[in-house]
Chain A
Amino acid sequence: MELTGAQILMKMLKEEGVDTIFGFPGGVVIDIYDELAKTDIRHILVRHEQGAIHAADGYARASGKVGVCLVTSGPGATNTVTGIASAYMDSIPVVIFTGQVPTQLIGNDAFQEVDIVGITRPCTKHNYLVKHTEDLARIVKEAFMIAASGRPGPVLIDLPKDVSTTTITYKAPKKIELRSYKPTYTPNIKQLHSAVKLIKNAKKPIIFAGGGVVLSKGSKELTELAHKTQIPVTCSLMGLGVFPGTDPLWLGMIGMHGTYRANMSSGDCDLLIAVGVRFDDRVTGKTDTFAPNAKIVHIDIDPTSIRKNIPVTVPVVGDCKITLELLNKLLDKEDLGDLKKNRNSWLNQIEKWKSTTPLAYKQKNIIKPQYVVEKLYELTKGNAIITTEVGQNQMWAAQYYHFKKPNHFITSGGLGVMGFGLPAAIGAQIACPKKLVVDIAGDGSIQMNIQEMATAKQYGLPVKIVILNNRYLGMVRQWQELFYGKRYTATGMEHAPDFVKLAEAYGAVGLRATKPEEVEPVLIKGLSSSETVIMEFVVEREECVYPMVPAGAPITEMLLV
């Protein structure tokens, strides 16, 4: 069969089951777009390439499939770098196609030429420059396999213009097998026996789950483990949703803005079962005081995550879901004794922490941002897909929206990208057209990718944007208040657009609440609309996120309300 590179690309995308591409055209990818139009693959035209990569990321997280992004060379490619780095940090499977100048011009500083393979080498799981059309089919297949398997991540394919236009005799690629890439899915059973022993002997155990459990779809197995062993569960930001936020064993999030009981129990526990986490510094605080009395079992598919930051008693390399399944089976054969009795004093201690120091804020006659998130949770019954920007809005969303299911909290956890939430919400809404998708934003971060409002409108996406407007870059201001003598340098944002008019200018609905009693009516009106809606909440300017662990301090030493 005689096919051009662009035709081969479409064929491979269809084979990989791609139904949506987020992209932005340009000179060297016109041939690809020309072929794309002949397929039934849906193309979402964003307004900025950063929007495309975040949308592909949001799509991947909400659907569990590989997100796909297509941009042109040079600036098109460099504009995706932030989003690629974010997907890399959060292990999100995305395949990025970038155009490139024709192969004979590479290295000549041609118009819109950039070495995107070189630039993205440290922030992709793998990347390719396709030099011959003959290699294209195999590379696309490899890329999708690498992106989605093992510890997932972004894979970039750089496509010179002539590679797309050259016609060759197409041969279907063979089954992909890379001798240098064989992720370990099934754990070493001996290690699991050691873990079982530790679980049986533990008096004060906790489970600490992260994004790895979301990615491996191991939420059910994790919940089973917790219930079977009566071990309370905390999550990293990335793990929220893998364990129901309404369960009695739920501790809340751990870390810099974790709940008092989660942080205290990590300091006091004698066994920490870490599943699909990488012990980020925002979780551990000062590493040598983290879980000082605990034996640690660490389950992760990526060997580099284990013993990178924290010494571990029992390392287990394996897929979280498969490992938890096996662990549950082993535990079924064990006599765990009278768990109700054995766990009693530990669970009581946790309950004490919870009742003396719950998540709290002081209600006043001005809208509190936490109150908005609480109301949003109530009104959506915890069923919405929540995306966030980065900063205070993100932390309040994590604290006050009690996630019940995985894949419902979509946030740039590792890289912390402001401007992530709106495009990610667009991606999530496309993946889940029937779901309510809400971006919880700040007035600072929403402005970083506000142009994607037009994308949402163009495709009739009813995403809801909740702006907690404090006219500050709130998280930095909070640090300045607490650690820099209230010197609010470069954090005041007194000049912002009128968000209601801005929504209307984009053809969307704009609503605003300025008093606490307006919060609920605005949310009800906004959430029930079938339009794209911006809901602006004018909130207390100098509200802080608490608890807070100062950077570098032990996580049991929290600043409280």
Chain B
Amino acid sequence: MTKQKHILSILVENQPGVLSRIAGLFSGRGYNIESLCVAETTDPLVSRVTMVTMADKPIVEQIMKQLHKLINVIKVYELTGSSYVQREMALIKVQAKPEYRAEILRIVDIFRCKVVDVGREHYTLEVTGDEGKMDAILNLLKPIGIKEIAKTGIIALFREPK
């Protein structure tokens, strides 16, 4: 069976140790975590974990059931396969030698991202988008020279019916 990317959205009780329970479940059972994003929701007692994992279908089914079995996990949704919006943010520090500065700013313009820090030798860009956009901008910036990068990992929500 083929492994596919699955985005899971997990509502958990906002308590110490909960993240460790989730991470421990993945390492203990040999599942993989591509990315992980956690923050409080509007209810301060609840956090949302958005997790991306690579797995085949029966394993994802098992992962979801195992997650749900954790006492502190309130709900587990799988977003992949339904209609959802996803975003990821990255801070990208690019080498900005004089001959490339105009090119970088053109890319910033095309991708509608922002320059959040600038120096004699670098620009730091803030990029938001889905995976496709991330891949595209990184491809363009790589030849120019990426010094450092920090990504948030994917966050995602279901689309409401129109």
Contacts and interface: CB of A to CB of B under 8 A. Distances in A.
Contacts of A197: none
B61 A307 contact: yes
Contacts of A180: 12-13, 71-74
A307 B60 CA distance: 12
A364 interface: no
Contact of B66 (A117, A129, A304): A304
B120 interface: no
Contacts, number: 34
Given A117-B17, A122-B28, A180-B13, A307 B58 contact: yes
Interface string B59-85: 001100110110111100000000000
B122 interface: no
A121 B72 contact: no
A515 interface: no
Nearest to B28: A122
A125 interface: yes
Contacts of B17: 117, 121, 129
A146 interface: yes
Contacts of B68: 303
A146 B65 contact: no
B71 A122 contact: no
Contacts of A179: 74
Contacts of B72: 180
A125 B58 CA distance: 23
Contacts of A125: 71
Contacts of A354: none
Interface string A28-49: 0000000000000000000000
A307 B62 contact: yes
Interchain residue pairs A-B with the least CB separation, the first 6: A180-B74, A126-B71, A304-B65, A303-B65, A122-B28, A181-B71
7 contacts: A117-B17, A121-B24, A122-B25, A126-B71, A129-B17, A179-B74, A303-B69
Interface of B: 12-13, 17, 20-21, 24-25, 28, 58, 61-62, 65-66, 68-69, 71-74
Given A122-B24, A146-B71, 8 more contacts: A121-B20, A178-B71, A180-B12, A304-B62, A304-B65, A304-B66, A307-B61, A308-B62
